[in-house]
Amino acid sequence: MRTQVGIVGAGPAGLLLSHLLARQGIESVVLESRSRSYVEQRVRAGVLEHPTVELLREVGLADRLDREGMPHEGISLRFDGGDHRIDFTDLVGRGITVYGQQEVVKDVIAARLADGADIRFEVGDLTIDGVTTDAPSIGFADAEGRRHELRCDAVAGCDGFHGVSRGVYRPAVYDREYPFAWLGILAKAAPTQNELVYANHDNGFALYSMRSPEITRLYLQVPPDTDAADWSDARIWDELQTRLAADGFTVNEGPLIEKGVTGMRSFVAEPMRHGRLFLAGDAAHIVPPTGAKGMNLAISDVRVLSDALSTWLRTGDETGIDTYSERCLRRVWRAEHFSWFMTSMLHNFDPESSGVAGFDGDPFSRKLQLAQLRYTVSSRAAATSLAENYVGLPYGAAL
């Protein structure tokens, strides 16, 4: 088999890269270890930055997004028993859209298959070779167990944190694990309000969000070793009502569709290029979900990578591929900082709540946290900084 770009992973990064390359006349093959039904139903991020939405519109992938997405013009920070709205539209003139990652994946798969794209699901035993030569290749077994070799000009590693791509070389790794996790639920319950609520409470952080006019997505801060099975539905709702309490606000309750625990970490691998292997998305970086940056960073990566690869393959100009890692990492580290800022400002670092003794669980740190929250909601400059980072800095902005 032969193609120009071999793409490992059919998440948002890999699929969108294939679409962007095709628009510039570049062939690709996408290889995915999971089934199509799995990747289309995998619930992940739900907040699309303004630049992400604009890009999806530009490349013809926003028809359903524009019909079903939920535009938001702000968020609320809830602490000290009060609610404080950050008005994105007033502060920076743009907002976000709530639209699930799995919905983006469905849209891109449908568009790619309609164009005759080669997307191979349920492949196994994947290997990547020759990336430091001019003839890289990807070996894999198809769903029937037959062995194949895909020869290509470049390999895009879009296979996530646990994929094989990053193991091909030894990048420098910058890593931080947080002493808590999120217990997340999907509930068949109409949202109480139409914007996200980030709550800082003595019991721990809580997030109120939604996926549709009928489905809410909610999270509770829990110790990292939490077993979701130990939390009954009644206990979850009681704790959500407690942490999200505010005058005139009640969490609508309903049957749980999904329940699970997600660890919290920050991770960056540098550089994001090794020879003709290019990492994108979670294969290269992870952010705690507090800042809503994960999928948006992946999309930003492949926007840069698609232009770099197409220019190189069409003209031989290597400037774009040579600067790919540096350009992406500037945005990655800005997002890492913002995600760390939101996480540090909103979570309870008390040892008894976090489950890890000695991690900033002192009254002094708690006072600093509340001081930052109060400043953020009382200073227009501080609120503007939060807003412009949350809705997404424009592509090409000096970072």
Write the CA distances from 319 to 156, 316, 322, integer angstroms.
17, 9, 5
Q: Respond yes or no: is residue 198 known to be catalytic.
A: yes
C-alpha separations of 166 from 18, 121, 169, 303 in Å? 20, 20, 6, 20
- Active-site residue (options: 99, 198, 219, 324): 198
**What is the Cα–Cα distance from 48 to 137, expressed in whole angstroms?**
34
- Based on the residue annotation, tell me whether 179 is a catalytic residue of this protein: no
Annotated active-site residue 293? The verdict is yes
The Cα–Cα gap between 379 and 300 comes to 30
Residue 335 parent element (H or E) = helix 319-346
CA distances from 195 to 26, 96, 225, 254, 259 (A): 40, 10, 30, 19, 22
Among candidate residues 19, 289, 324, 347, the one labeled active-site is: 289
What b/e sequence results for 30-67 when a residue is b if at least 16 CB atoms lie within 10 Å of its CB, and e otherwise? bbbbeebeebbeeebbbbbbbbbbbbbeebebbeebee
Fill in the amino acid letter for 12.
P
Q: Which two tokens stand for residue 1?
A: 């088999």
Whether 101 contacts 45, CB under 8 Å: yes
Handedness of CA 32, 228, 258, 346 (dihedral sign): negative
Query: Does residue 21 sit in helix, strand or coil?
Result: helix
Closest by alpha carbon to 70, among 53, 93, 56?
53
Rounded Cα gap, residues 26 and 7, in angstroms: 12
- How many Cβ atoms from other residues are within 10 Å of residue 393's Cβ? 19
For the record, the structure tokens of 139 come out as 């070996």
Catalytic residue among 19, 72, 201, 285: 72
The answer to whether 174 is a known catalytic residue is no
Dist. CA 252–CA 140, nearest whole Å: 47
Of 178, 208, 324, 390, the catalytic one is 390
CA angle 86, 218, 393 (to 5 degrees): 40
390 is catalytic: yes
What is d(CA 95, CA 69) in angstroms, rounded to the nearest whole number?
12
Count other Cβ atoms within 10 Å, centred on residue 303: 21
What residues are annotated to the active site? Answer: 72, 198, 289, 293, 390
